[in-house]
Structures are given as structure tokens and as C-alpha cells.
Structure 1
């Protein structure tokens, strides 16, 4: 049995996959019991107790119910994530969760779905696509700055998804942003629904495209989080007061319209507004 410390389950890293020079996936054993079975779009809080007494939210990128494993995909962007990248198989991390509302996966069979991921935002998109398997026909827009930063395109293609890569510099697939690739797809294709995750300005552009075509969609938002349980209020958004960690991180397009700050600004650790 795994050790429990301050609501964290102390889990051994079973496998590490180097996805790119700056992104790694960490895989853990996970007991799939009631209340702990994650769904795509949810996240866990990660505590590296060998470093500073700090924790960060990480999207779940792998849900393997058959083999009782989960994975998180981490981009090295600061001190906390750099310490994670220095860990090895056999090292341990504190994990609590899963938290938040994931993607709505009910009544999804035989739907034509457009899944759009930008950068490390491909983590929940890949999880969603792999999780629903061949229940639906899925086109995936996989976007990044350059070819070496593309995430999960080969893995998802092996899972029978239709992959449409795009890079800012044109080193792989379509040259341009995820919005440009989506415009191109919508010229010849129609969809029953969409799921989106990536930089917020990217999601804002996608939101407007899909709204124009009346395609219902779900969007995974990111905000600075502390408690992940809706207590501290750190991740509340204007003007609904919704907590990203509880009412989100996934919102429908109808709910997203009510979030005044979407695509405009977010708040830093001190609660100050920072414009996009």
C-alpha cells in the first residue's frame, strides 16, 4: 500500500518518457477505485517533497484503466518543473487528486469530433482522444512552435485519430497557428463538437471560429491555483466567481461566454491583473 502524508499519496515514478527536449511524461501506478478514477481534463496536485515545500497542478495526460496507471506531462519552465525533470525512475512524488471537472464524455459515440491542442495543452487533448478510443471519429489539430516541440502526434495516429499538425515555423505540417489550421479544416469538414486546450489567446481565436459555425465545444482553462479544492479563491474568475479548480478547468462554450476575463487577462500569484 502506498504511504499517505498530509492527504498526498506518495507514489513511485514507474516510467519517464522524454517527449521533447523540454517536456517529459511521468507514469505512476494508480488504484482505480471509486472516487479516484480520473476522467480526461482533470488534474492532480504534485508535491516534490525533496525540493521546496511547494506543489503545482498538472494535467493528466494518460489514463490507463486496464493497467491501473496514470501519467502527467510536464514542461520545464521554472524551478519547480526543472526539479521534476531531474528525477529518475524509482524516485517518489506526492500526488493528490484528481480534481476539477473534466471533459463531458457522455453520449459521445459516433460523433464527429475536432480536438485542438497547442503546445503542452496537448496533454489533456491526448488523454481525451486516447480515452474514447474508436467510439468516435476524431480529427486532432496538434500545434506547436516547431517540429521538435510537437506532442503525441505519432501516438494518437497509432490510436486511429486523424492528425493535422501545424507549426509556427512550418517545420512540420501546416505552417501557421492552430487557428489557421482550424480555418483550413472547416472549409471542407463539419463537426458535432470540439475540445480545446492551449494558450488562452489561441483558445480565444478558436472559440470565435467555432461560435461562428455553431459548433458546441469544451475548453480547458488554466489559472494560478493553490488549494485545488475551491477554498482559497485564488483561481476565481471575473465576473462569475467560478473557481477554475472546482467549476473548471473544463468549461462549455456557453459557460465560457460568462467569464469576462477569458482571452483578456488573468491574475498572478498576488492577485494582480496581467493582460494577455
Structure 2
């Protein structure tokens, strides 16, 4: 796995929803190597506060321009400090890290919930010659700012909200059996909360549709040394390192 640790310059930093920001970085050394589903590990340049790096899914990448796009929610001290970044500032950026998606779907269905939609953006754009269908969910209409982001890449978008403020009322997986019965999808790509991924894995198995899942775990080192992000293998024989064996796994590899 090729990776590098370099300085990345902030080009844009925009608020796109309540407590959600889009960070666009100039980092050509990483952009040219990035595949959908990978992530970067960053820390604020010239500071060790916070001490540990933070992992962020790569939401989008433009190799020609040398840019990466990260979309993150402010959830703690580290991300709160990040909100102060402005164009021209620098970050210490390590990546691209992890194993990304296997791009062998001809009739792909993307399933995302909450901030788990971020790593599916680049994936959706990759399927431009065979547009993907997207099933997306959130707690309410305010959380589904993603619709405009995906509109150009996914002509067919199905929406669920917990409160029914837009789309189908219920959880993301509630619509999945109906979609799998109605259309001949040959691959599911999913990212979101663990409970959602467990449901997607079970439903895809019942419908005999291969499924890849991108796991979200706390990470310290990001390179497989600290073992803080492991998950159980479905056979019970070992534990996977999410940062290096994943974050993308075949659904059948993971013990749910």
C-alpha cells in the first residue's frame, strides 16, 4: 500500500450544514494515489494538541488538480479545533491509508447513513459510465444536505428519514429489500452506523447480492501498529485491523 506523509494546504473550508464542514486540501502527492474508500490521518501542523492524529474518510479526490475533499462533523475537541482552519493554513497529512472499495459492480447500489455517506461520494463519481443508485438515510430533512452533493453522480436517489420529514419514514435498511427485489443490482457498497451495516449485510446475504462495507472505528496510529481499531472476523479465528485490512471489507468477513 503506497502512502506518504506530507504538508497539505487548506484551499477552502466551508460550512455545509449544522456542525458539518467541507475541507478542501491541496495535497497532490496523496491525491494521485487515492482510490475510493481510503482515508487520511491528519494533525494540525506544528502542534501536538491534540496529540493523536484524526482519521478522515476521503470524500472526493481530483488527481488532476491535486486536491482532496474531506467532510466532517464537529464532535469533539479535535474537530472543534479544526474549524479554525482557514485558506492558506497547513496540515500534516498522512495517506492514502487503508484498503478501498473493489470496483467490480456493474449495477451498483450505494447505501449510506449519516456521515457514512462521505466516503461514497468519490465512489459514486467513479461509476459515471454505469451510474449507481443511492439509498441514503438520516434523522431528518436537515441532515440530508447530501442530496445535492450526489445529484450529479446518482440519477436515482432513494431517501429515508427517522422522522419522516422527507422520503420514506423509517430506517435506511427498511427500503433495501424492496429495492433488491425490484432491480437487478450486482453489488452493494455501504457505509454508516454499525447497526445499519449489520442490517445491510444480513439483507444482502438473503438476496444473494455481494456486499462491501466501510467500517468506522476509532484509530490512534492508522497504520496497524496500535491495535485500537480491530474488529472480529466472522470465523472467530482472528481480529481484523480496520485501518490496514479495511476500512472496506466484504460483509461476510465481519462478525456482526
The alignment's TM-score, normalised by the length of structure 2, stands at 0.90
User: Is 1:66 equivalent to 2:61 in the alignment?
Assistant: no
User: Is 1:128 equivalent to 2:123 in the alignment?
Assistant: yes
Corresponding residue to 1:220 among 198, 214, 218: 214
8 Å CA contact 1:44–1:98 kept in 2: the answer is yes
8 Å CA contact 1:32–1:65 kept in 2: the answer is no
Identify the residue that residue 237 of structure 1 maps to in structure 2: 231
* 1:159 match: secondary structure: coil
Identify the residue that residue 174 of structure 1 maps to in structure 2: 168
Q: Deviations over 1:195-223 (max 9, x none)?
A: 00000001101111111000001000122
User: Is 1:23 equivalent to 2:20 in the alignment?
Assistant: yes
User: CA 1:36 to 1:226, structure 2 compared with 1: closer, same or farther past 3 Å?
Assistant: farther
User: Is 1:97 equivalent to 2:58 in the alignment?
Assistant: no
Moved more, 149-158 or 58-67: 149-158
Task: Provide the C-alpha distance between the structure 2 equivalents of 1:66 and 1:86, rounded to a whole number of angstroms.
Answer: 28
8 Å CA contact 1:36–1:97 kept in 2: the answer is no
Identify the residue that residue 265 of structure 1 maps to in structure 2: none
User: Is 1:205 equivalent to 2:199 in the alignment?
Assistant: yes
Task: Provide the C-alpha distance between the structure 1 equivalents of 2:138 and 2:87, rounded to a whole number of angstroms.
Answer: 28
Matches within 5 A, 1:1-276: 8-32=5-29, 37-49=33-45, 50=47, 51-105=49-103, 107-108=104-105, 111-130=106-125, 132-238=126-232, 239=236, 240-256=238-254, 259=255, 262=256
Identify the residue that residue 273 of structure 1 maps to in structure 2: none
Task: Provide the C-alpha distance between the structure 2 equivalents of 1:148 and 1:218, rounded to a whole number of angstroms.
Answer: 28
The alignment's TM-score, normalised by the length of structure 1, stands at 0.83
Q: Deviations over 1:225-259 (max 9, x none)?
A: 11111112222223422211111110012322xx3
Select the structure with the greater relative contact order (CA < 8 A; seq sep ≥ 6): 2
- Which blocks of at least 5 consecutive residues in structure 2 are unaligned? none
Number of residues of Structure 1 aligned to a counterpart in Structure 2? 247
Task: Provide the C-alpha distance between the structure 2 equivalents of 1:191 and 1:99, rounded to a whole number of angstroms.
Answer: 29
User: CA 1:155 to 1:196, structure 2 compared with 1: closer, same or farther past 3 Å?
Assistant: same
Task: Provide the C-alpha distance between the structure 2 equivalents of 1:69 and 1:121, rounded to a whole number of angstroms.
Answer: 21
Task: Provide the C-alpha distance between the structure 2 equivalents of 1:54 and 1:28, rounded to a whole number of angstroms.
Answer: 20
- Which blocks of at least 5 consecutive residues in structure 1 are unaligned? 1-6, 263-276
